[in-house]
């Protein structure tokens, strides 16, 4: 996963007892090599969230898309690690929450 120069910087945050590593890459890929917006890897008391900064053609993603992807992956982490146990695949709910909180953020409500 090649890094790209951007205002987005890798970060480490704590969410209760879990360390979350937020990493930004040019293009994230799934296990079969296909481009994806991002994904979350879970390991013991940590998880790593990886976010694409460019689309599958190498074009930069919009800030809105990047921010929604960050929220989307954080909701996966929250649900899996803190609330729903091993429930990681509720894509409809996770995406709805990401879009809704992004919309509120754009209106000045910081979530």
Q: Is 5 among the domain residues?
A: no
* Lookup result for tokens 């879990």: 18
Judged against a pLDDT cut of 80, whether residue 14 lies above it is answered with yes
Q: Is 2 among the domain residues?
A: no
| Residues facing 54 on adjacent strands | 60
Q: pLDDT value at position 111?
A: 80
Write out pLDDT tens, residues 68-106: 999 999 998 888 876 665 555 688 889 999 999 999 999
Percent of the chain at pLDDT > 90 equals 65
Neighbours of 19 (CB within 10 A): 14
SS3 string, 58-94, reads CCECCHHHHHHHHHHHHHHHHHHHHHCCCCCCCHHHH
Q: pLDDT value at position 86?
A: 55
Q: Of 1-10, 26-35, 85-94, which range is least confident? A: 1-10
Q: pLDDT value at position 105?
A: 92
Number of domains in the chain: 1
Tokens of 106: 């754009």
Q: Is 27 among the domain residues?
A: yes
């Amino acid at each position: 996963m090649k890094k790209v120069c951007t205002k987005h910087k890798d970060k480490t945050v704590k969410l209760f007892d879990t360390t979350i590593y937020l990493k930004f890459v040019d293009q994230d890929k799934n296990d079969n090599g296909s481009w994806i917006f991002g994904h979350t890897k879970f390991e013991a008391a940590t998880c790593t969230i990886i976010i694409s900064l460019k689309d599958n053609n190498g074009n930069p993603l919009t800030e809105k898309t990047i921010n929604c992807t960050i929220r989307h992956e954080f909701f996966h982490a929250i649900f899996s690690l803190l609330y729903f146990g091993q429930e990681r695949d509720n894509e409809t709910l996770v995406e709805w929450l990401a879009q809704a909180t992004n919309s509120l953020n754009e209106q000045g409500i910081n979530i």
